[in-house]
Structure 1
Amino acid sequence: MTQLLAGDTGGTKTILRLAELHETQSGPKLKPLYESRYVSAEFTDLVPMVRTFLTETAEAIGTPPKPQKACFSIAGPVVNNTCNLTNLSWMLDGARIRQELDLKKVQLINDFAAVGYGITGLEAEDIDTLQEGEPREDAPIAVIGAGTGLGQGFLIQHQGRYRVYPSEGGHTDFSPRNELEFQLLKYLRDKLNVNRISVERVVSGMGIAAIYQFLRDRDYVSETPEVGEAIRTWEREAGKGEKTVDPAAVIAVAAAEGRDRLSKETMELFVSLYGAEAGNLALKLLPFGGLYIAGGVAAKNLPLMKSGIFIEALTDKGRMRPLMERIPVRLILNQNVGLLGAALNASRL
């Protein structure tokens, strides 16, 4: 059996997985053999990390692993199978990694492209349907995911298999829909001293914090002392290397637990903006193969995502509403979808 090595590599952590490829009548199936997580900054490069992983794997499974092919999803732009990681001083080169690890093939792919490949390997329990729609097997698939930034991409069938195409759609213009959102746009332009605001500035983890600050500074709703102090601590830590507060998490938890009305209003506006941008992507691609919502923000706020706010914003496209209501919308629950995608891509090398 062919052994494959897959990695989900980021500035903070890296997850590595060894899998075994089995060819079946329904297509390739992957059997995970061993998986481990590492702090990226504790290694000078990906190669020594992989060597550590292979040593641990041998001890865990009782036999030396012999992967032939590998694919690593990278949090950063990949050009000609090379990448400078965005938040880590690693310069990765697929050819060098292949040679130093004695592998037959190595491919580096963008982390959001890996999510796209992972969609093709999801099981029923890995997704939650937000809108049934009218699925078509021959249609494109779209994927959007808010996290640190806002990833967007799409899949198209080619010769019996899907090909993944990433995009930079998160950097398109933020387009307000009403007076409150126009005020948000002006607030961000003034605060950041820029002329243009991308949709990623509001539909992302940093967008949650920005929306909270906007509503707070406009006295839209009063804040509770507990949440307010946490956000002010985060603001004081701006520019520092170590942060003690994750503002998006603080706001989301307070909203979910009903402890802070300002947090609740923040998250509802965020989800509406998220749905509106997902609808914009759907209008451009008509993804009747499915519009998939990725990223930890959506999965960690499932009740709010399923409240109707997201789908109402997605379908609120004037004369195009009937068309939007036909698009299947699915939320990815499996937070290792990128790692799964890297493994599936490795199987195709």
Structure 2
Amino acid sequence: MTLLLAGDIGGTKTILRLVKANPGADREAALESLYEVRYSSHEFSGLVPMVRTFLDAAAHERGEPFAPEKACFAIAGPIVNNTSKLTNLTWTLDATLLSEQLSISKVALINDFAAVGYGVLGLNDSHTHTLQVGKVEENAPIAVIGAGTGLGQCFLVYADGNYQVLSSEGGHADFAPKTELEFQLTGYLLDKNNIERISVERVVSGQGIVAIYQFLRDRDFAPESPEVGSVVREWESQAGRSEKSADPAATISQAALAQSDRLSIKTMQMFIEAYGAEAGNLALKLLPYGGVYIAGGIAAKNLPLLEDGSFIYAFNHKGRMASLMERVPVHVVLNADVGLIGAALRASRL
């Protein structure tokens, strides 16, 4: 048995989890969660005092001291030489210093979406929902894509007896419009933002949902409902603030799920089709017959919209390559803790 410390560190909140793992823990092996706490990141001057507080609380709660042997922290930001400077915090993290200061023999820092990549290896059938069964090939590549605040992408390749996660910045690739309405959306976003190119992340993300809604609203596609419109206008009035009180993307998607607002329904239809097309683009480049995993909170919260067929239609709609695409298994990740699971799995390999 190995005692691991897994962390998911963000500018707003940090989740720490103690995990007990059997030797060689990986896809089939269970990782037993022993203790978990969610902290406000801004309440601590750094990760070290937070971890010390966490371990003290765990010892008090469980009646025994805990000394993790390995640790992995998933960071919402870039990792360079196992160091990271968080964007929305004053913290600077260095794995070597963390190892020394916390007396943990091995410490790793990984990008939060890379942690999601490792996390899919620890999921079981109850943690996913299959959109396309496909034909699974053993040890074939695996692709992961997840729309949230931005658009994360990574992929896994099998080597030396294990899957290895490779990061990607595919979310910043060019958006490829396919319909007349999507071409109009592209022009609208170019003009509105005074920019020269549109990345796929500007469309396939939470901000993309709002952008599509604004485009349809400003083009008078349908009358704006007072309920949704008031939330969007409140969000627009807070432009420039780092934190906003309104969450229009959630409001729009909820209205679409409830079939209560035509403008929101069309917004989510365009979003889901663009999401499926981009997931298909990623799959076309990798041929991930180990599966494509759709992560991020937007997919899980809008599962009925992904199930209506438009996502998979756009995913498979690749001309002469359609028959290859239909063989790719496609799953939606339902477990919100997939990043923590991945951090624990990565720690077990140190």
- The two structures share one fold, judged by TM-score above 0.5: yes
Report the counterpart of residue 10 of structure 2 in structure 1: 10
Offset, 1:154: 0.4
Q: How does 1:102-141 map to 2 (within 5 A)?
A: 102-141=103-142
Report the counterpart of residue 152 of structure 1 in structure 2: 153
Offset, 1:339: 0.3
Aligned to 1:20, the other structure's residue is in SS state strand
In the aligned structure 1, how far is the partner of 2:333 from the partner of 2:250? 19
> What residue ranges of structure 2 are gaps of 5+ in the alignment?
none
Q: Percent identity?
A: 63
Note the aligned Cα RMSD (angstroms): 1.2
Instruction: Give the partner amino acid of 1:135.
Output: V
Q: How does 1:280-295 map to 2 (within 5 A)?
A: 280-295=281-296
Offset, 1:135: 0.6
Offset, 1:88: 2.1
Report the counterpart of residue 348 of structure 2 in structure 1: 347
Residues 86 and 92 in structure 2, CA contact (< 8 A), matched pair in contact too: yes
Q: How does 1:86-101 map to 2 (within 5 A)?
A: 86-101=87-102
In the aligned structure 2, how far is the partner of 1:256 from the partner of 1:54? 42
> What residue ranges of structure 1 are gaps of 5+ in the alignment?
none
Q: How does 1:309-348 map to 2 (within 5 A)?
A: 309-348=310-349
Report the counterpart of residue 204 of structure 1 in structure 2: 205
Aligned to 1:215, the other structure's residue is in SS state helix
In the aligned structure 2, how far is the partner of 1:93 from the partner of 1:172? 30
Q: How does 1:18-37 map to 2 (within 5 A)?
A: 18-23=18-23, 28-37=29-38
Q: How does 1:230-249 map to 2 (within 5 A)?
A: 230-249=231-250
Instruction: Give the partner amino acid of 2:11.
Output: G
Residues 140 and 285 in structure 1, CA contact (< 8 A), matched pair in contact too: yes
In the aligned structure 2, how far is the partner of 1:103 from the partner of 1:341? 19
Superposition misfits of 4+ residues, deviation over 6 angstroms: 24-27
Instruction: Give the partner amino acid of 1:208.
Output: I
In the aligned structure 2, how far is the partner of 1:236 from the partner of 1:204? 20
Instruction: Give the partner amino acid of 1:85.
Output: L
In the aligned structure 1, how far is the partner of 2:61 from the partner of 2:159? 39
Instruction: Give the partner amino acid of 1:134.
Output: K
Offset, 1:273: 0.2
C-alpha deviations, 1:196-228, integer Å up to 9, x for none? 110000000000000000000001111101111
Range moving further from structure 2, 85-94 or 165-174? 85-94
In the aligned structure 2, how far is the partner of 1:174 from the partner of 1:227? 26
Aligned to 1:109, the other structure's residue is in SS state strand
Instruction: Give the partner amino acid of 1:271.
Output: I
Report the counterpart of residue 179 of structure 1 in structure 2: 180
Offset, 1:28: 4.6
Residues 2 and 23 in structure 2, CA contact (< 8 A), matched pair in contact too: no
**What TM-score, normalized to structure 2?**
0.98
Report the counterpart of residue 214 of structure 1 in structure 2: 215
In the aligned structure 2, how far is the partner of 1:334 from the partner of 1:135? 21
Range moving further from structure 2, 77-86 or 15-24? 15-24
C-alpha deviations, 1:86-145, integer Å up to 9, x for none? 222211111111111111010000001100111111011000000000110121000000
Range moving further from structure 2, 37-46 or 82-91? 82-91
Offset, 1:240: 2.2
- Give the total of aligned pairs: 349
Q: How does 1:74-93 map to 2 (within 5 A)?
A: 74-93=75-94
Offset, 1:242: 3.8
Residues 23 and 29 in structure 1, CA contact (< 8 A), matched pair in contact too: no
Aligned to 1:188, the other structure's residue is in SS state helix
In the aligned structure 1, how far is the partner of 2:199 from the partner of 2:24? 45
Report the counterpart of residue 44 of structure 2 in structure 1: 43
Report the counterpart of residue 259 of structure 2 in structure 1: 258
In the aligned structure 1, how far is the partner of 2:100 from the partner of 2:24? 31
Aligned to 2:157, the other structure's residue is in SS state strand
C-alpha deviations, 1:47-68, integer Å up to 9, x for none? 1111111111111211011101
Report the counterpart of residue 72 of structure 2 in structure 1: 71
In the aligned structure 1, how far is the partner of 2:239 from the partner of 2:42? 21
Report the counterpart of residue 170 of structure 1 in structure 2: 171
Alignment CA distance shift 1:245-1:273 (3 Å): same
In the aligned structure 2, how far is the partner of 1:307 from the partner of 1:126? 20
**What TM-score, normalized to structure 1?**
0.98
Residues 82 and 93 in structure 1, CA contact (< 8 A), matched pair in contact too: yes
Report the counterpart of residue 297 of structure 2 in structure 1: 296
In the aligned structure 1, how far is the partner of 2:307 from the partner of 2:86? 34
Instruction: Give the partner amino acid of 2:319.
Output: G
In the aligned structure 2, how far is the partner of 1:242 from the partner of 1:72? 24
